[in-house]
Amino acid sequence: MKIVRSVREMQAESDKIRRAGHVIGFVPTMGFLHEGHLNLLRIAREKADRTILSIFVNPTQFGPNEDLNHYPRDIERDETLAEEAGCDILFYPPVEEMYPAPFRTAVTVAEITQVLCGISRPTHFRGVTTIVAKLFNIVKPHFAVFGQKDAQQLIVIKQMVRDLNFDIDIITGPIVREADGLAMSSRNVYLSPEERKEAVMLYKSLMAAKTLIDSGERNADAIRAELERRLRQAKTAKIDYAEIVDTQNLKPLETIQGEILIALAVFFGRTRLIDNIQVSV
Q: Which residues are catalytic?
A: 37
Contact pattern from residue 235 through residue 274 relative to a copy of itself, giving x for each residue in contact according to CB under 8 A and a dash for the rest:
--------------x-------------------------
Contact pattern from residue 112 through residue 151 relative to a copy of itself, giving x for each residue in contact according to CB under 8 A and a dash for the rest:
x----------------xx--xx--xx-x-----------
Min separation Cβ 173 and a copy of itself, Å:
23
Those residues with Cβ within 8 angstroms of residue 64's Cβ, 6 or more apart along the chain or in another chain: none
109 vs 273 by CB, closer to a copy of itself:
109
Interacting residues with a copy of itself between 165 and 204 (CB under 8 A): 165-167
Q: How many CA atoms lie within 13 A of 125 on its CB side?
A: 25
Q: How many CA atoms lie within 13 A of 16 on its CB side?
A: 8
166 vs 267 by CB, closer to a copy of itself:
166
106 vs 207 by CB, closer to a copy of itself:
106
Among 208, 245, 214, 211, CA closest to 227: 208
**End-to-end Cα separation, the chain, in angstroms:** 44
Among 232, 162, 225, 167, CA closest to 198: 232
Min separation Cβ 108 and a copy of itself, Å:
5
Evaluate the omega torsion of the peptide bond into residue 100 and state whether it is cis, within 30 degrees of 0: no
Distance CA(7)–CA(132), nearest Å, equals 14
Q: Which of 64, 102, 193, 216 binds a copy of itself (CB under 8 A)?
A: 102
Q: Which residues bind a copy of itself (CB under 8 A)?
A: 7, 11, 15, 18-19, 21, 100, 102-112, 129-130, 133-134, 137-138, 140, 159-160, 162-167, 249
